[in-house]
Amino acid sequence: MTALNERTATELARMLAAGEVSAEELMRACLDRVAAREETVQAWAFLDPEIALANARAADARRKAGGAPGPLHGLPVGIKDIIETADMPTENGSDLFRGQHTGRDAACVAMLRNAGAVIMGKTVTTELANTCPSKTRNPHNPEHTPGGSSAGSGAAVADFHVPLALGTQTAGSVIRPGSFNGIHALKPTVGRIPRDGVLMQSHTLDTVGVFGRSVEDLALITDSLSDFGAANLSRYGARHPDLLSAMKQEAPAPRFAFLETPAWPEADAGAREAIEGVVSGLGAQCVRESLPSPFDRIIDFHGAVGAGEILAYYGHHAETSPDKVSDLLKARLAESRQFDAGDYVVALLAREPLNEALAALLDTYDAVLCLPAPGPAPHGLSSTGSPRFNGLWTYLGVPCVNLPRLSVDGLPLGVQLVGKPGEDGKLLRTARWLDSKLAG
């Protein structure tokens, strides 16, 4: 019998709604797992068992009092520690914000609470959600990185501490930890989940994403987080797509465009063999494709946009509080100064035609299929791994999902699927089909 803390969020939501288990019972199961494994995994920046249990009891009390339980009733959720929580500190993985209590919830946290979720604690992030590695270890092998910057969220879900967690992606900080930790992960269309109350690194690139244990889990939590206000009408029109409903729609067997992407030369032999096996297994449903020549420069375009905006948001910290900024981040900021304003503008202007080229490809196919990382999680803790297989898609603002169905050298490796902006539901429907096929 599967332990409570190891079940999918979708299974748990049904059990909680039916009264088969209480929120407190589920929280205790999760906390027991944390107690047994946190010394090894180190996924949590802040976790007070009494606060977590009190929040769970409050959820049970609301249900007993006849309150509408909400789609996420009683489900524990981990929150990346660059996302504000009213009742917990938000330290952004940085000495600059040590002990900070903002006293408010980020918009996405408020939406989780409104949907009935129980905020369990704050998960570890790298320094300011940037490149400096965190204390978190990969639960599959603690000598390997869990990825970053959403290190704690990925590891906590993978190690059965919590069924769901929030992360953010500016380059590869959701999909890469999903791949390295062997879990499902979704970076939705940029802007689908509101960013109010989330530490800003890049207003062009930053995207709130989610981790879970099934494709249905990703849809379940994202449906409760989706924002279709005026700022998003250009991407979504007047529609309010329900991802769970979209996943259940009847559709022909999907077709995939396999792209090696400009990062392909960095892929190790094991990763290439693993993804080639997927392509071969799909037969005529998967076709090797390419995009026009500007696509060859897309990694540089992402770098130019990220450099300009990260320097704008973080540069002053290195100047005013150098003793509280790591040498690695200082070096990253110094590299960012090598880009000029022209690089930044050229990169911004290139995005629309590249999105149009991708959209034209996806008029023929249901999703792009590609690697989510150059290989499994690297050995050692001095790096979080390369985000170059992810940053190009973050630059375009398109939805991406990781399916944890491959392995190399005994460590997880995912399959990354990419869709059109705004078509997150179609992407998840396609992902569920492929996930089921790969799971056997």
Dist CA 199 CA 175 (whole Å)? 19
What is the C-alpha to C-alpha distance for residues 333 and 154, in angstroms, rounded to an integer? Answer: 26
Range in 55-69, 78-92, 125-139 with the lowest mean pLDDT: 55-69
Residue 148 within a domain: yes
User: Which CATH number belongs to the domain containing residue 185 in this structure?
Assistant: 3.90.1300.10
In this prediction, residue 241 has a pLDDT band, given cuts at 50, 70 and 90, of low
Number of domains comprising the chain: 1
The answer to the question of residue 287 being in a domain is no
- Using DSSP, state whether 328 is helix, strand or coil: helix
User: Residue 373: what pLDDT?
Assistant: 98
* pLDDT per residue as tens digits for the range 9-37: 999 999 999 999 999 999 999 999 999 99
Residue 413 lies in a domain: no
The model's pLDDT over 155-212, given as tens digits with 9 standing for 90+, comes to 999 999 999 999 999 999 999 999 999 999 999 999 999 999 999 999 999 999 999 9
How sure is the predictor about 67, in pLDDT bands with cuts at 50, 70 and 90?
confident
| Predicted confidence (pLDDT) per residue in 302-337, tens digit | 999 999 999 999 999 999 999 999 999 999 999 999
Q: Is residue 11 in a domain?
A: yes
The active-site residue out of 134, 153, 173, 336 is 173
Question: What pLDDT score was predicted for residue 440?
Answer: 84
Please confirm, yes or no, whether 202 is among the known catalytic residues: no
- pLDDT of res. 352: 96
Residue 286 has pLDDT above 90, yes or no: yes
pLDDT of residue 1: 81
> How does strand 256-258 pair with strand 286-288?
parallel
Please indicate whether residue 173 is annotated as part of the active site.
Answer: yes
Query: For residue 166, is it within any domain?
Result: yes
> What percent of the chain lies above the pLDDT cut of 70?
97
Determine what percent of the chain is predicted with pLDDT higher than 90.
Answer: 94
Classify burial at 389, counting beta carbons within 10 Å of its beta carbon; exposed 0-12, middle 13-18, buried 19 or more. Answer: buried
- Residue 212 placed within a domain: yes
Q: Report the pLDDT averaged over residues 394-420.
A: 98
Quick check: 230 pLDDT over 80? no
Given this model, what pLDDT does residue 228 score?
63
Torsion sign over Cα 387, 389, 390, 392: positive
Task: Indicate whether 418 belongs to any domain.
Answer: no
> Which range of residues forms the domain containing residue 33?
4-231
pLDDT of residue 254: 98
Residues 9/163, Cβ–Cβ less than 8 Å = yes
Lookup result for tokens 């991708």: 358
Model pLDDT, residue 182: 98
For residue 66, what pLDDT is reported?
A: 87
pLDDT band for position 233 (cuts 50, 70, 90): very low
Catalytic residue, from 22, 94, 134, 149: name it.
Answer: 149
What's the pLDDT score for residue 237?
Answer: 47
Tell me how long the chain is. 440
Residue 278: inside a domain:
no
* DSSP symbol at 267: -
* Residues 163, 299: Cα–Cα separation, whole Å: 33
Catalytic: 420? no
Give the range among 107-116, 220-229, 384-393, 417-426 with minimum mean pLDDT.
220-229
Which has the minimum average pLDDT: 113-117, 226-230, 363-367?
226-230
pLDDT of 236 above 50: no
